[in-house]
Amino acid sequence: MAHISEYHYYTMTSLEEFPFFNLPYDLQLEVLKKMPVDVILTARLACSRMNELIERHRLSLPPRMFPEVELHPLADDDRHLVYDEDRFAKLFKNGEIAGLTISYIDIDDEVLTSLKNAVKGNRIRVQRLGVDYCRISTNAQSFAEMVDLMGCFELSIVHCAAVNESFSSELARLPVIKKLERFGMLLPADVSDNYLLESRNEWLAIIGTNITTAAIKQFVELPTEIDAQDILADVDCELIDGNWMIRNKYGEQRTVGVCERCIQIFSDDAMLVIEENLN
């Protein structure tokens, strides 16, 4: 223990005297901005002066990366966090979260405003947002604004209940949601043909739609060896198991599964991930 203490004392003393702090202040910041994130994190431990400098300018430094995080009202450990705006902001300030799941929370206007303030004020980015087992009592526009502020490319809403019956349909139609790469929502979305025909989603899963067989046929260009009548007949109500490789009107390859008024469009990459996890 004595050896470790002496080592840390030597390191901290040396860094306090390091020429870095003799550089002009603007140049110190430029050096920090060019450092890899792991080096910045290590440098914070070197001495109090370096830590204060990094903390003061954290928003202008390269973002820190975080894996999966779940906001959960009853669990608080390495991967679960009881939501508190100040704590959330401090932990993930200028960070990018690969996957954020919100579970068992009443997502009302107060919670949504708090999340938006934390994300916007602390430059927090979220790649994939999942909402699971939540009661959603806010409006679709406010929810979409949160998704936009987070910079998500994927949104999934499952096992949830919306107080406003029109929430899901209104959310699905908003431009912010329609431009997502991946969107899945297990709430009835009363959308029709144009929604599918205008979609550029890499992956789309919605239920309770009014999308017709004719629109699906227009969206896809089936290979000659597949009988479109057999696959797509009575899609609105008939349960059809299985997936079929197709190309959409943009020439992009997709796998389409259709069952009980539910349409799922997968990219090749998404299918590979699914297959790997099934094996």
| Domain spans, the chain | 2-60, 63-190, 202-279
Give the span between the Cα atoms of 265 and 249, in whole angstroms: 13
Q: Please answer whether residues 271 and 246 qualify as being in contact, where contact means their C-beta atoms are separated by less than 8 angstroms.
A: no
pLDDT at 134 over 90: yes
Which pair of tokens denotes residue 215?
A: 């629109």
* Amino acid identity at 179: K
Q: Could you read off the pLDDT of 59-92 as tens digits, one per residue?
A: 777 778 888 999 998 877 767 889 999 999 988 8
Which pair of tokens denotes residue 85?
A: 């705006």
- Better-scored residue on pLDDT, 40 or 163: 163
Mean pLDDT to the nearest integer, 138-158: 95
Which pair of tokens denotes residue 259?
A: 């069952």
Instruction: Count Cα atoms within 13 angstroms, Cβ side, for 10.
Output: 6
- Predicted confidence band of residue 16 (pLDDT cuts 50, 70, 90): low
DSSP annotation string for 215-267: HHHHHEE--TTS-HHHHHTTTTT-B--S-EEEEETTS-EEEEEEETTEEEEE-
- Tokens 């227009």, residue located: 218
Q: Could you read off the pLDDT of 215-273 as tens digits, one per residue?
A: 766 666 544 444 444 444 433 323 334 445 555 555 555 555 554 455 565 555 555 65
- Better-scored residue on pLDDT, 115 or 50: 115
